[in-house]
């Protein structure tokens, strides 16, 4: 069945974190009249972050949601058409490309910039959700600084967890690592570094039973997976490092991805395997995952899109 196209645009941006909004700012300035759909979480992961202190230009720091509002307002001032709505399906076999919004409306676009981001994987505990932003975090590099000189816990066993534990060990008095099995998945060199760091204690065969605290994190209760024994560790923060999931499902049959679902881009560009489709931000970056790098790649994607539209005579 053919899709009924209700609207045609030059440049469509899917997603509204630092990458999407920056792409919108640059695309607007280039006269591409971009239309941006904000997705399920307008503002992206930063809207669930409290204080952002590592983004250049904010000497006193800024609240994540406020910062995303600044990005959005700047994109609007440049002329971007910012809309609520979620991309639910795509057809990249035809040009203009076709994107379905909210399972009903189909839009055609000459160029598409995908900035759908990634979502942190969580344990699924009620206390984890309740204390998110009050000591519970999925980014040690973003939030570790707030717990300088304090005891913290981190859960995870891969390279990211090991890296974040080592990062925390430099600024926190003690790091309690919670590892489900009797070994880590991290590379040998990372494991050795963690094991040889004096202020990191690894709790093997352990899982998180509960995060304790009324208004902020005060302790974590862990359970030994072999004996069932429970113990409480007094900590000021609880970091979850069990991985991220790129929000790329609807593009799976169309775009080249790695085994984890991150969209592959041609090195040094935001180009995907389909000419005219670009990817920026955390949906294609599993290494840096910072607001500033996402914004940078949003700029790249808009410049790539402008060049593509110009060369093809669409713009």
Contact in structure between 48 and 132 (CB atoms under 8 Å): yes
For the segment 216-232, the average pLDDT, to the nearest whole number, is 96
The answer to whether the predicted template modeling score (pTM) of the entire model surpasses 0.85 is: no
Per-residue pLDDT band for 1 (boundaries 50, 70, 90) equals low
**139 has catalytic annotation:** yes
**11 has catalytic annotation:** no
pLDDT of residue 49: 65
**142 has catalytic annotation:** yes
Dig out the tokens for 300 from the structure: 């790249």
Architecture of domain 122-240: 3-Layer(bba) Sandwich (3.50)
Out of 231-235, 256-260, 311-315, least confident range: 311-315
Q: Exposed, middle or buried: residue 258 (CB in 10 Å: 0-12, 13-18, 19+)?
A: exposed
What are the Cα distances from residue 264, in Å, to 46, 113, 184, 269, 273?
Answer: 23, 13, 27, 10, 8
For the segment 40-65, the average pLDDT, to the nearest whole number, is 84
Please state, for a pLDDT cut of 90, what percent of the chain lies above it.
Answer: 84
Which residue's entry shows tokens 């992961």?
A: 45
pLDDT of residue 310: 96
Contact in structure between 218 and 232 (CB atoms under 8 Å): no
pLDDT of residue 74: 98
Q: Exposed, middle or buried: residue 286 (CB in 10 Å: 0-12, 13-18, 19+)?
A: middle
Which of 66, 81, 91, 139 is the catalytic position?
139
The yes-or-no answer to whether 5-119+244-311 and 122-240 have a common fold is yes
List, for residues 95-116, the tens digit of each pLDDT value.
Answer: 999 999 999 999 999 999 999 9
Which of 143, 282, 285, 304 is the catalytic position?
143
187 or 298: which leads in pLDDT: 298
For the segment 133-143, the average pLDDT, to the nearest whole number, is 90
Decide if pLDDT at 47 tops 80.
no
**Out of 3.50.50.60, 3.40.640.10, 3.40.50.150, 3.30.70.870, which CATH number does the structure's domain 5-119+244-311 have?**
3.50.50.60
Please state, for a pLDDT cut of 70, what percent of the chain lies above it.
Answer: 98
Contact in structure between 19 and 280 (CB atoms under 8 Å): yes
Which of 142, 270, 282, 285 is the catalytic position?
142
Contact in structure between 119 and 281 (CB atoms under 8 Å): no
Dig out the tokens for 227 from the structure: 């004996």
Q: Rounded to an integer, what distance in angstroms lies between the CA atom of residue 232 and that of residue 223?
A: 9
Dig out the tokens for 114 from the structure: 């995908």
pLDDT of residue 241: 94
Domain boundaries, the chain: 5-119+244-311, 122-240
201 or 64: which leads in pLDDT: 201
Label residue 43 left, alpha or beta by phi (over 0 means left) and psi (-120 to 50 means alpha).
left
**Ramachandran angles phi, psi of 149, nearest 5°:** 75, 5
Per-residue pLDDT band for 120 (boundaries 50, 70, 90) equals confident
């Amino acid at each position: 069945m053919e899709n009924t196209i209700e609207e045609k645009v030059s440049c469509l941006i899917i997603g509204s974190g630092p990458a999407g909004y920056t792409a919108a700012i640059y695309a607007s300035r280039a006269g591409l009249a971009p239309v941006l759909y904000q997705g399920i979480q307008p503002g992206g992961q930063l809207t669930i972050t409290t204080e952002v202190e590592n983004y250049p230009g904010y000497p006193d720091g800024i609240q994540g949601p406020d910062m995303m509002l600044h990005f959005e307002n700047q994109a609007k001032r440049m002329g971007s058409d910012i809309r609520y709505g979620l991309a639910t399906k795509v057809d990249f076999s035809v040009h203009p490309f076709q994107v379905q919004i909210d399972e009903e409306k189909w839009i055609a676009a000459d160029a598409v910039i995908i900035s759908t981001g990634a979502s942190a994987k969580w344990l699924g505990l009620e206390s984890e959700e309740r204390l998110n932003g009050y000591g519970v975090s999925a980014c040690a590099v973003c939030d570790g600084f707030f717990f300088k000189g304090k005891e913290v816990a981190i859960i995870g066993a891969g390279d990211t967890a090991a890296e974040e534990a080592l990062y925390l060990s430099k600024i926190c008095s003690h790091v309690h690592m919670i590892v489900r099995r009797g070994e880590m998945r991290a590379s040998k060199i990372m494991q050795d570094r963690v094991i040889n760091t004096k202020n990191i204690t690894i709790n093997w065969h352990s899982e998180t039973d509960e995060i304790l605290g009324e208004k902020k994190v005060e302790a974590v209760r862990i359970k030994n997976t072999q004996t069932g024994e429970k113990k409480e560790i007094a900590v000021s923060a609880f970091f979850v490092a069990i991985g991220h999931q790129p929000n790329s499902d609807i593009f799976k049959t169309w775009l080249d991805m790695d085994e984890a679902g991150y969209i592959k881009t041609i090195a040094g560009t935001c180009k995907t395997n389909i000419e005219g489709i670009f990817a920026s931000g955390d949906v294609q970056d599993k290494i840096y995952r910072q607001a500033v790098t996402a914004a940078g790649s949003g700029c790249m994607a808009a410049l790539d899109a402008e060049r593509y539209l110009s060369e093809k005579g669409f713009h």
